[in-house]
Structure 1
Amino acid sequence: MKGKILEFKDQSRSGIISGDDGNRYNFEIKEWKSAALPKAGNKVDFSVSGECAEAIYAEPLVAGGASKKIAAALLAFFLGAFGAHKFYLGYTKQGVIMLLVFLFGFILLGLPSIIIGIIAFIEFILYLVKSDEEFELTYVVGRKPWF
């Protein structure tokens, strides 16, 4: 059956799915079969056992992750020390941190600026190595801001 996650509580590691049949089903994290943690709004495919959802899989994401992945990787390579790739992916706080550390790093003989440049290069490599779906799940849906 297909449905949508209405709620997921990190504390109890459980949530509620609204099935396409109009019913609601409870689920535990042990039934989650996808890489990224469940999040409200995720579309899912699952089996039903009474009032509980089992064997829950996140539905594949729509195309577009590849273009976001390539753009983020290019920004990380060319403007990564300024945090451009972070701003592009919606991580404003992390982008500001990278920008300020890079700019004020020159006061400390450039060492912080070099470190930020290395971090940006590592993220460039990680973006390229991940598959389109894995990139989308990790950085867009999963909202993982660092590495």
Structure 2
Amino acid sequence: MSDDNKNLSDDLNDMLGDAKEGAKKAADKVSEKASDLADDAKEFAGEAKEKANEFASEAKETASEFADSAKEAFNSASGDNKKILAGILGIIFGGLGVHKFILGYNKEGGILLGIWILGAVLSCVGIGLLLIWIPGVIGLIEGIIYLTKSDEEFYNTYQVGKKPWF
């Protein structure tokens, strides 16, 4: 039996050696695969970073274009709104010079408002009614002129060119 035990012990040692060798090969293969996967992951990360940079630069460019077009649209829209607002206020409240204040002509608006107030004070004397009507007619005429001009012409004449009267 001792030979059998010895043979059995040798067989077990051989099997244990084979198992260790198999485990070592498996560990080497796993290590090799992990290294390959790490390399692939680094390559994928580099590609992803490159794509993200491309996307970010495209997004910045698109955002810049959008901001420029939004500014342009806002500027043209605010010019349109000033035209319509100044025209309507010129027709309705022209005697008070409100349309002049909207366009930034404070001196001219103050002149119309002052004449209107002077006319209101002097309205108990006959001349006051004339002083109230003069700025009203001026406002009516200017309101009609504002509304009949094209957007470009209005913008160039009254906002860029700063033409204060008619």
Aligned to 1:83: 97
- Determine whether 1:71 maps to 2:85: yes
- Determine whether 1:146 maps to 2:165: yes
Q: TM-score, normalised by structure 2?
A: 0.50
Unaligned stretches of 5+ residues in structure 1? 1-61
Unaligned stretches of 5+ residues in structure 2? 1-74
Secondary structure class of the residue paired with 2:76: coil
What are the superposed Cα offsets for residues 33-87 of structure 1, whole Å, 9 maximum, x if unpaired? Answer: xxxxxxxxxxxxxxxxxxxxxxxxxxxxx41221110011111112111000000
Q: Superposed, which structure 2 residues align to 1:59-138 within 5 Å?
A: 62-64=75-77, 65-106=79-120, 107=122, 108-138=127-157
Please give the alpha-carbon distance, in whole angstroms, between the structure 1 residues aligned to 2:134 and 2:76.
34
Secondary structure class of the residue paired with 1:63: helix
If each structure's helix is expressed as a fraction of its own residues, which one has the higher value? 2
* CA drift at 1:93: 0.3
The runs of at least 4 consecutive aligned structure 1 residues that moved more than 2 Å come to none
Please give the alpha-carbon distance, in whole angstroms, between the structure 1 residues aligned to 2:107 and 2:101.
8
Aligned to 2:50: none
Please give the alpha-carbon distance, in whole angstroms, between the structure 2 residues aligned to 1:127 and 1:92.
17
- Partner letter of residue 67 of structure 1? N
